[in-house]
Structure 1
Amino acid sequence: MNGPVGAMHVMQWRRLLTGFSERPGRGLAILISLVLIVTAAVSTIILTRGFNNQMDDVIATYRVREQADSTLALLNAAHSNQRGFLLTQNPAFLDLYRTSSSHLDESLNTLNEMTRGNSRQQVIVSQIQGLAKQKQQKVDSAIALSLAGNNSDALASLGPDFGIGQMDEIKKTINGFLAEEDRRLIARNIAMDDLRFWLTIASIAALGGALILAYILASRTKRYVRKLTEGQSTLLSEKSQLEEMVQLRTAELEKAMMVATRERARVETLLQDSDHRIGNSLATVSSLLGIQMRDVSSEEIRAALGAARDRIQTISSAHRRLRLGKDHETVRADEYLPEVIADLKDSHVHDRDIQISAHIEPIDLSSRDATTLGIIIGELTMNAIKHAFPHNRTGSIAISLAHDVNGVVALDIADDGVGIQKKLQKRASGIGSVIVAQLCQQFGGEVNYAANPSGGTLVTVTFPSLQSARTPEEKKAENE
């Protein structure tokens, strides 16, 4: 590159740089492109934070609803126990009533703290506290009469309905409280959806504008470089220089490919590590709940903590067992779900004689659909273990995921336990059943409980909108 040829090459590059400096419009186009790209990035960040806030609102509403339901349950327990004492004079009912009353005050105070900052909900909570206090005062007065030997006067003071009218009024007020909480959540979600829509439009418009400006700038630059190249016929005619440039470019491309390969491997490792970290974190939360259970004396709270621990274990297993295929988008159901089921068996029936078998078709699923199916199977299997085999009863559970005669993916979980005669209503109203029903709605499906022809219970879930994920080979074949 020394001598006349090198001098000519330097001169041509100087002409190129001078051309850029003489075109201020080109610099302005670059600046506008950068501004549009930054705008798109900011919109994406706002969208992500908005989604996180929306999830926080859903969790907060769920906790408030759960606390309100707990308060209503304590009111019902106190009402039932005071009736039991006045009718039977059994002191055990009186102890239960006093325990429920003490917990009721604590629950109402907790509900009041959770709604702090919401004036409308604070008013309703105050109404609930006032109604509960009035009922407690009336019941305490009746109990005092009964303990003094005037049981007939005590019963008469509560009226012919034992205060059921007051309970109905309290329930109506609590239902109004829950309806207001749902309304606020829906309003926040609608506002967030509107913001997400306009931010998405802004992001797309910004990226589109940046691409258009980049294309115009690249086209003009290309034309300028082409003119410059046409004036370098002497340099381009030298074969040795061309070969050197080709070799240099080839080496750069190979280096870039090596860097891209390493980055891809790193991203794949991060994806797998992320799923494992999520699973391990949830397992830690499950262990903490188990530790908390040992310090709780209330059987209701112990049962609630145990149910929460089991669900967290199921979600943890669904994440830890997730192994994506070569396309890093899909997972085979027959390779993934049996491992989740094995974890369920190790966690819940390792010390019991309950056999769990699974027949899973080789269905390709997206990672999100796969984890959702894992959670649904976990909830229904734990439900069968809990209700179908009481008192350490032995038996078996058969799990099947396959296409039915209509080509729709269907899940069957059959047990040979005690059946569904009296527990069907409990299954349909439990939090686990609510979770399963909501998850199934994502696929347009529903849960059906029926008697198993061979004894026990058969749970059938259909997923009409669940489509098998296509592998890269299938996508390529379809495009061809």
Structure 2
Amino acid sequence: MEAGTPAHRGIPSLPVTMVLAGVSAILLIVVASIAIWSSTMARGGVEGLRDTSLVQSSALTFLSRLQDAETGQRGYILTGNSTFLEPYERSVGQVPADLERLKSATADDPEQARQVDHLGELLNAKIQELTRTVMLVRDDRRDDALALVSAAGGKAAMDDIRLVVRHILESEDEKQLEREAALASWTRVSTLAIAASALVALVLVAITFRVGQRQYAVSEDMRRRLAEANDRLEAEVERRTSEAEGARAEAVREKERAVSERSRVELLLQDVNHRVGNNLAMVSGMLGLQISATGDANTKMQLRAAQERVATIANAQRRLRLRDDLSTTRADEIVESALSDLRATLGPDRPVEIEAQLEPIVVDGRDAIYLAILTNEIVMNAVKHAFEGRERGRILVSLARAEEGVCLTVEDDGRGMASPAALGTGLGTKLVTRLARQFGGEPDISSRPGGGTRIALPLPHLGAPLGAGA
């Protein structure tokens, strides 16, 4: 060493390292706190959604039951036919229990509780009117019953009840909108906090890298100063040995960093897939609430079909497992997952066997989701329409390599199609045709030997080349 030169010149002091460690720990605590808080907010939103659904369903059940009672009363007054008394008596007996369930659901909300109490007063008056008019008809005093209905303002009383129920439903809708707005606001705040934490983390990485550079430079400088005190030949050997060791250590570090970065990317992709699946599952749940709040049968059917499609995409997204290249996946695994979900939804009252013959085929991750949608649409169509009037049925799903690309085949042993030239004109058919054309194919529909229908979808543009390994 040169005289007067301190050995630790340029080496960062211990407090700097401690500060970096402290800031890193704080970042970890902040990120963990944000994660816990986000989970709590999401759970609160789901609980609020469940409470709103309970109040609304209870209110609608109460109103529907009271309307049934009034319909039976009016029919009995006008016709004198005692068959109208059966729905009247059944509904009158169940309405108080419906009101109690509504009270229980609104017990934590003073404003809603007051509305329910008022609803109870209106109900008592309405039931007295209903009971009195029915008794008059039974005593052959139909004119008196009709006069009492007009004098008691039966329609006005029912309108008041409907108005209170509508106010309860609208209040619950407003509360849910407020919850969603608050959740969106807090989500933005948490996103900004995470972004700020990430920025600070990047700064810490840069500082740490700079500190490492300085330490490495000081180490090399000290090594060089020590070598100058030795024999030239010995110094040359020492220098080359040091360089070799440094290169090897750097190569090991680079390899470790590459492995760590890959693992981080894989975890991030899995987390993204899971989050997308959860968000789609929440959309499916909201569609379910809309179904329960919809009275039109055709609208219910369309919403239920949309809910099933969203659920299929959500399940496929959550179960998507990318391979080492982080872009491809196994098509047979994603199709089997979709079929497993379909089997679970059938239940014991639909004894339809769904079998699968799936070759291990590698496709692009995005194409795998589309393939799950195709499989779900065709198999569900067969389940709904192929076995009408039969107790049992069997569906065979095949996925195999073809001369060009991949071929998806669905066969059933059902009643067959009256005209196998086309699937139909519904949304499901349009979706199947469009997705098949996206991969360069057209649905091939034919009668199955022995009875049933066979639908083959050649998909020449699907996924990875045929040479990709399984």
Q: Confirm or deny a common fold (TM above 0.5).
A: yes
Aligned counterpart for 2:106 among listed residues 95, 112, 115: 115
Q: How many residues align?
A: 364
- 1:137 Cα deviation (Å)? 1.1
Structure 1 pair 260–205 and aligned structure 2 pair: CA distance change class (3 A): closer
- 1:20 Cα deviation (Å)? 4.3
Aligned counterpart for 2:217 among listed residues 217, 226, 243: 226
- 2:145 equivalent in structure 1: 154
- 1:184 Cα deviation (Å)? 0.7
What code does the residue aligned with 2:78 have? L
Instruction: Spell out, residue by residue over 1:148-179, the C-alpha distance to the aligned partner (whole angstroms, 9 max, x if none).
Output: 22122112211299833322222222111111
Query: For residues 218 and 211 of structure 1, what CA distance do their matches in structure 2 show?
Result: 11
- 1:106 Cα deviation (Å)? 1.0
What code does the residue aligned with 2:426 have? L
- 1:179 equivalent in structure 2: 170
- 1:353 Cα deviation (Å)? 11
Structure 1 pair 369–61 and aligned structure 2 pair: CA distance change class (3 A): farther
- 1:267 Cα deviation (Å)? 7.5
Query: For residues 219 and 178 of structure 1, what CA distance do their matches in structure 2 show?
Result: 62
Query: For residues 388 and 347 of structure 2, what CA distance do their matches in structure 1 show?
Result: 12
Q: Note if 1:206 corresponds to 2:222.
A: no
- 1:335 Cα deviation (Å)? 7.2
What code does the residue aligned with 1:174 have? V
Instruction: Spell out, residue by residue over 1:79-119, the C-alpha distance to the aligned partner (whole angstroms, 9 max, x if none).
Output: 21222222333333323212212221111111111111111
- 1:332 Cα deviation (Å)? 8.0
Aligned counterpart for 2:82 among listed residues 51, 66, 91: 91
Structure 1 pair 371–188 and aligned structure 2 pair: CA distance change class (3 A): farther
The secondary structure found in structure 2 opposite 1:117 is coil
Query: For residues 174 and 141 of structure 2, what CA distance do their matches in structure 1 show?
Result: 48
Query: For residues 370 and 36 of structure 1, what CA distance do their matches in structure 2 show?
Result: 40
Normalised by the length of structure 2, the TM-score is 0.58
Instruction: Spell out, residue by residue over 1:33-86, the C-alpha distance to the aligned partner (whole angstroms, 9 max, x if none).
Output: 432332233122212221222222222222222222222221221121222222
Query: For residues 343 and 217 of structure 1, what CA distance do their matches in structure 2 show?
Result: 49
Instruction: Spell out, residue by residue over 1:245-304, the C-alpha distance to the aligned partner (whole angstroms, 9 max, x if none).
Output: 66677678878989999x89x979x99xx99xx9xxxxxxxxxxxxxxxxxxxxxxxxxx
RMSD of Structure 2 on Structure 1 (CA): 5.6
Query: For residues 371 and 161 of structure 1, what CA distance do their matches in structure 2 show?
Result: 63
Percentage identity across aligned positions? 21
Q: Note if 1:458 corresponds to 2:449.
A: no
5+ long unaligned stretches in structure 1: 1-7, 9-13, 279-306, 357-361, 398-414, 418-451, 475-480
Matches within 5 A, 1:273-284: none
What code does the residue aligned with 2:137 have? S
Matches within 5 A, 1:288-303: none
Query: For residues 330 and 128 of structure 1, what CA distance do their matches in structure 2 show?
Result: 59
Q: Note if 1:71 corresponds to 2:39.
A: no
Query: For residues 377 and 161 of structure 1, what CA distance do their matches in structure 2 show?
Result: 55
- 1:168 equivalent in structure 2: 159
What code does the residue aligned with 1:180 have? S
The secondary structure found in structure 1 opposite 2:150 is coil
- 1:405 equivalent in structure 2: none
Instruction: Spell out, residue by residue over 1:118-163, the C-alpha distance to the aligned partner (whole angstroms, 9 max, x if none).
Output: 1111122222222222211110111121222212211221129983
- 1:330 Cα deviation (Å)? 7.4
Does the 8 A contact of 2:387 with 2:393 survive in 1? yes
Does the 8 A contact of 1:416 with 1:457 survive in 2? no
Q: Note if 1:60 corresponds to 2:51.
A: yes
5+ long unaligned stretches in structure 2: 228-234, 279-303, 355-361, 396-413, 439-461, 466-470
Structure 1 pair 95–456 and aligned structure 2 pair: CA distance change class (3 A): farther
- 1:208 Cα deviation (Å)? 1.0
Instruction: Spell out, residue by residue over 1:173-224, the C-alpha distance to the aligned partner (whole angstroms, 9 max, x if none).
Output: 2111111101111111111211121122122112212321331243134223
Question: For the pair shown, which has the larger CA radius of gyration, 1 or 2?
Answer: 2
- 2:410 equivalent in structure 1: none
The secondary structure found in structure 2 opposite 1:159 is helix
What code does the residue aligned with 1:82 have? Q
Structure 1 pair 91–330 and aligned structure 2 pair: CA distance change class (3 A): farther
Q: Note if 1:106 corresponds to 2:97.
A: yes
Query: For residues 66 and 376 of structure 1, what CA distance do their matches in structure 2 show?
Result: 31
- 2:129 equivalent in structure 1: 138
Matches within 5 A, 1:66-465: 66-159=57-150, 163-233=154-224, 237=236, 238=238, 239-240=240-241, 243=244, 318=315, 322=319, 324-326=321-323, 336=334, 340=338, 344=342, 348=346, 458-459=426-427
- 2:295 equivalent in structure 1: none
Query: More deviation in 95-104 or 113-122?
Result: 95-104
Query: For residues 129 and 378 of structure 1, what CA distance do their matches in structure 2 show?
Result: 50
- 1:32 equivalent in structure 2: 23
